[in-house]
Amino acid sequence: MKIAFAGTPEFAAQALRALIEAGHEVVLVLTQPDRPAGRGMKLTPSPVKVVALEHGIAVDQPEKLRTEEQQAALRAAAPEVLVVAAYGIILPQAVLDIPTHGCLNIHASLLPRWRGAAPIHRAIEAGDAETGITIMQMDAGLDTGDMLLKRAMPIRADATTASLHDALAALGGEMIVEALAALPDGLTRTPQPEEGVTYAHKIDKAESRIDWRRPAIELDRAVRAFNPFPGAVAELGGTTLKLWAAAPCDRQGAPGEVLQADAEGLVIACGEGALKITTAQKPGKKRQPVGDVLQGLELVPGMVCDLP
């Protein structure tokens, strides 16, 4: 099929690779403008742009798609279908109407649960037992279009946003190839049910601060949900640490009380139970086993950490 593709991060790049490998003619790639990144804040292309350029595909990077000028490249490409994955730019109805078969979205949740910007984070944070990929026929709403394909995947007890992202990205690539093979008449459009709608709001860095008054099981999910971005943050012994690996354990104390601080782990009491931290990061340092992180920190059993 003659395809245009719109996406930005690695999740979308995997889908683009799958389409190219399946032999589809990708006539245009839309992706967000290059952004400053890294210590030098050098302008850096998106993962989707990198894949497109590697395969000699034309790239357009409008800030928005509201005006005729911003839509001109897509109109000139005249695609049969536009595949969208984590693009980050809202598509107005005028854009949705350009492709012959409309726009198909690869969404990383089992719609209608977790519509919106951060479905992978929110599924882990909420303690969902499963998630998956929904291939959706886009309309002008926020992830409200008819469903074409849906496939579930269990969320492992140790899953992080990073690990679940990779598994879902691979599944999304497989499913969009399957969906396109069935167009135009081989897919049933199923309207989303009104029951079960939830919204995966964009991650705010302020959410990542650990509150020891919460149950340990919730904090464990928060640590995993915010890995790799933005990283769960806690004030421990006067130092701001990012927590990268932890697990709830059956110990008790006042919220924020240090119960153990050694090479085996840093155990801090929570509102219910306790959290055993095994990997953390000091400012300006790399992720390390907690025994190495504790060196130079005055954390001893009986101390009470700061509460937000």
pLDDT exceeds cutoff 90 at 4: yes
How many CA atoms are closer than 13 Å to the CA of 88, on its beta-carbon side? 16
Same domain as 183, residue 213: no
Instruction: Tell me, yes or no, whether 181 and 210 share the same domain.
Output: no
Measure the N-to-C terminal CA separation of the chain; round to a whole number of Å.
54
Task: Report residue 113's pLDDT band, with 50, 70 and 90 as the boundaries.
Answer: very high
Is residue 34 within 8 Å of 43, Cβ to Cβ? yes
Instruction: Give residue-wise pLDDT tens across range 227-241.
Output: 999 999 999 888 999
- What CATH number is given to the structural domain containing 142? 3.40.50.170
Tokens of 178: 């399957």
Question: In this structure, is residue 301 part of a structural domain?
Answer: no
State how many domains the chain has.
2
Domain that holds residue 259: 205-293
- What is the pLDDT of the chain when averaged over all its residues? 95
Structure tokens at 229: 């971005």
Asked if residue 151 and residue 243 are part of one domain, the reply reads no
Is 249 within a domain? yes
Counting beta carbons within 10 angstroms of the beta carbon of residue 185, is it exposed (0 to 12), middle (13 to 18) or buried (19 or more)?
exposed
Domain co-membership, 61 together with 148: yes
Predicted pLDDT of residue 260: 96
Percentage with pLDDT > 90 across the chain? 90
Q: Which residue has the tokens 């536009």?
A: 82
Query: Tell me: the pLDDT tens digits for 133-152?
Result: 999 999 999 999 999 999 99
80 and 228 housed in the same domain: no
Average confidence (pLDDT) over 263-276: 96
Please give the model's pTM, rounded to 2 decimal places. 0.94
Lowest mean per-residue pLDDT among 36-45, 102-111, 198-207: 36-45
The pLDDT assigned to 107 comes to 98
Q: Rounded to an integer, what is the distance from CA 41 to the centroid of its chain? A: 22
Same domain, 214 and 194: no
**Cα angle at 283 between 277 and 285, to 5 degrees?**
85
Q: How far is residue 88 from each of residues 24, 46, 76, 158, measured CA to CA in Å?
A: 23, 12, 22, 28
Q: What is the mean pLDDT of residues 214-243?
A: 95
State whether 6 and 155 are in the same domain: yes
Q: What are phi and psi of 21, to 5 degrees?
A: -65, -30
Q: Which of 200, 226, 261 is a domain's end point?
A: 200
Q: In the numeric block, which tokens belong to residue 126?
A: 């909420």
d(CA 256, CA 253): 8
Q: Quickly state the pLDDT bin for 37 (edges 50, 70, 90).
A: confident
Residue 255 has pLDDT above 90, yes or no: yes
User: In whole angstroms, what is the distance from residue 87 CA to residue 92 CA?
Assistant: 13
Q: Are residues 139 and 211 in the same domain?
A: no
| Tally of CA atoms within 13 A in the half-sphere of 172 that contains its CB | 32
Q: Binning pLDDT at 50, 70 and 90, where does residue 209 land? A: very high
What is the model's pLDDT at position 40? 82
Q: Are residues 44 and 183 in the same domain?
A: yes
